[in-house]
Amino acid sequence: MFLRVSTLLLLSLFFLVPEAPAQNGGIEKRQNEWGVWGSISFDAPTLIGKTPDARFGEIGLRYGRVLLANDDLAFIWTIDAIPVAVLSTNRFTIVQTSPTTFTLQRDRERTYAAGLSPIGPKLNFRRQKMVQPFAAGSAGFRFFTRDIPVQGAARFNFTYEFGGGVQIVNDNHRAITIGYKYQHISNGYHSDINPGVDVQMIYGGFSIFK
């Protein structure tokens, strides 16, 4: 639902501005974007997912296509392949310290994953300038090495995210991206247990448009 609404909003914004011919610099219609990025979480809210104190990081490879461009805006569709992702959550175990006493011990448990996000609408503002603010959304899946965030949930999880940031594009069409995103991880109730994970993340990347 989020992706359908966000895509319609982005396209509506695009058509508010008339078509313009491509110019040197910035990004242009029908260009391809090839890039790499990394992200790391700094907070784990419980608005949708209910797993507190989670930590999450990813490394991704990106392909994007500039589908539409006008004077000020560019609509880009992105596909991200994620070869490495790591989720760290609390694990609680009961440890016997004497014949009659027990203590609750907390450790961090890391779980690795890989996945794909093939649905990625992205809108760049000021597309002919060097500094381009953008808004973006994405959806896909991650396959973890064990059930997350707790045993009995699922290894296969869906993801969706939304956010924005700044893309700095030079005259050679090399770009540096700095951004923020809110990401949700959930098994979509194909398991009886579905606590879900929410993370706020910062990320950076490097791209080439050609």
Six-digit token pair at 73?
């805006």
d(CA 180, CA 161): 10
Nearest to 77 by CA among 69, 85, 88, 89: 69
Calpha distance 57→200 (Å, rounded): 11
Predicted pLDDT of residue 32:
97
To which residue do tokens 């359908």 refer? 4
Domains and CATH numbers, the chain: 2-10+32-209 (2.40.160.20)
- Which segments of 127-170 are extended strands (E)? 131-148, 154-169
Mean pLDDT by 10 residues, the chain (210 residues): 42 42 67 98 95 96 97 96 96 71 79 98 96 98 96 96 97 95 96 95 97
Classify residue 126 as left (phi > 0), alpha (psi -120 to 50) or beta: left
Report in angstroms the alpha-carbon separations of 88 from 10, 110, 205: 34, 4, 23
Q: What's the rounded Cα separation, in Å, for the pair 201 and 197?
A: 12
CB–CB of 161/133 below 8 Å?
Answer: no
Task: Using alpha carbons, select from 47, 194, 72 the residue that is nearest to residue 123.
Answer: 72
Dihedral pair phi/psi, residue 132, rounded to 5°: -125, 105
Are 163 and 136 in contact by the 8 Å Cβ rule? The answer is yes
- Strand positions, DSSP E, the chain: 32-43, 55-69, 73-96, 102-119, 121-125, 131-148, 154-169, 174-186, 197-209
Rounded Cα gap, residues 124 and 194, in angstroms: 35
